[in-house]
Chain A
Amino acid sequence: MNRTPSVTKRKTAIFLHKSLHGNRFAQVALIVLLWLAGEAVSRGTGLPIPGSVLGLFALLYLLITGTIRLSTMRRGANVLLADMLLFFVPAVLAVLDHSEFLGLVGLKVLAVIFAGTLMVMCMTALAVDVGYRLMLRMESRHAVS
């Protein structure tokens, strides 16, 4: 046997690239297939992780191992990601069932969201900025010693 796993992987990558690249719908179809497989695994094993997230990890694994190239999938993924709003906007109409949001409850919810978001943004930005400076300082110390 002169066929090492990496050769097989490269051949798969080339085969997938040739058959999928340039065809957005085929790329979307492969993504849908990974989603369905993820759902099947999630339901079959009873894992507390949604099938779509398992599908995400599967695609990420295929990309990292080089079985699928980024250029093979990029356009298909962008078709789905660019119009994400269309796919969850129906749920937003749930507001129709909640006339109480027109009164005090609505104002309270808005207050929670605005104040909460302000705090989340401040805390995150400050944490990342402090962490970033700390990391740079540690790296420069390493470089000196």
Chain B
Amino acid sequence: MPSLETILITVFWSAATIAIYLLSKRTYRRWPAIWSSPLVLTPVLLAALALSLHTTYSEYIGATRWLMAILGPVTVAFAIPIYEQRAMIMRYWPVLAFGIVVGSGTAILTAWALASLLSIDGTLRLSLLPRSVSSPFAMAISEKVGGVPDLTALFVVITGVAGAALGEKLLRILPLKSSLARGALFGMGAHGAGVAKANQIGAEEGSVAGLVMVLVGLVNVLAAPILAYILR
């Protein structure tokens, strides 16, 4: 039997996490900006609360780990957007496949090369490799290649914020003719946050970004055993 204290801690931190998440969503609706998005606001407010209560990460995650188990069903649910976009896959699969291979290769190589250049090594470097992949997939890949899945989740969030902010500026510089390229830029570079941004640019860009995000996750998870083998 878990002690009464454990139960109380679990209930408190679960309720606090859900409440702060809902509050962040509402705040974003009122004042939409990258820095007020739930992606930034929720972890910052939670960290502030944990620090002020002197709660350690292991205490916090022990209480909220059950929320992360739901990422399993979330991954299964990604079948729906793939099926909804089946016409786009049939029409453009060679182009999408090319973009996903180039993008994923660039993501892994730049993470490895830049980290090595700045003398980051060990599990920290490995945790950076899957940062361009949507978090449920990225955490699975991180575990497979020997990184720390929780750190990868942090890097995924930073990548999303960075990519959503950089993407719009890039669109002004790059001579992109197709909405396919504009959508792929966001779906590959900034996963969830990028899809939200792409939807603001256009409906077509948004659905391309959403599809690319899911396919990138799938391709990388399936390729992870090969990557783990190379790294060993």
Contacts and interface: CB of A to CB of B under 8 A. Distances in A.
Q: Which 7 A-B pairs have the closest CB atoms?
A: A91-B153, A124-B103, A52-B75, A94-B150, A121-B189, A59-B79, A129-B181
Decide if the interface of chain A is mainly helix, strand, loop or mixed: helix
Nearest to A34: B76
B106 A119 contact: yes
Interface string A28-52: 1001101100110000000011111
A113 B78 contact: no
B201 interface: no
Nearest to B194: A121
Given A34-B76, A112-B114, A124-B185, A117 B132 contact: yes
B110 interface: yes
B118 interface: yes
A2 to B, nearest CB: 31
B171 to A, nearest CB: 8
Contacts of B192: 84-85
Contacts, number: 280
B76 A35 contact: yes
Contacts of B43: 89, 92-93, 95
Contacts of A39: 72
Contacts of A63: 79-80, 83
Given A85-B39, A90-B60, A49 B176 contact: no
A88 B64 CA distance: 10
Interface string B132-173: 100111011000100011110111111100110011001000
Interface stretch (A6-14, A15-23, A73-81): A73-81
A90 B68 contact: yes
A78 B77 CA distance: 8
A81 B162 contact: no
Given A48-B144, A89-B42, A119-B110, A94 B72 contact: no
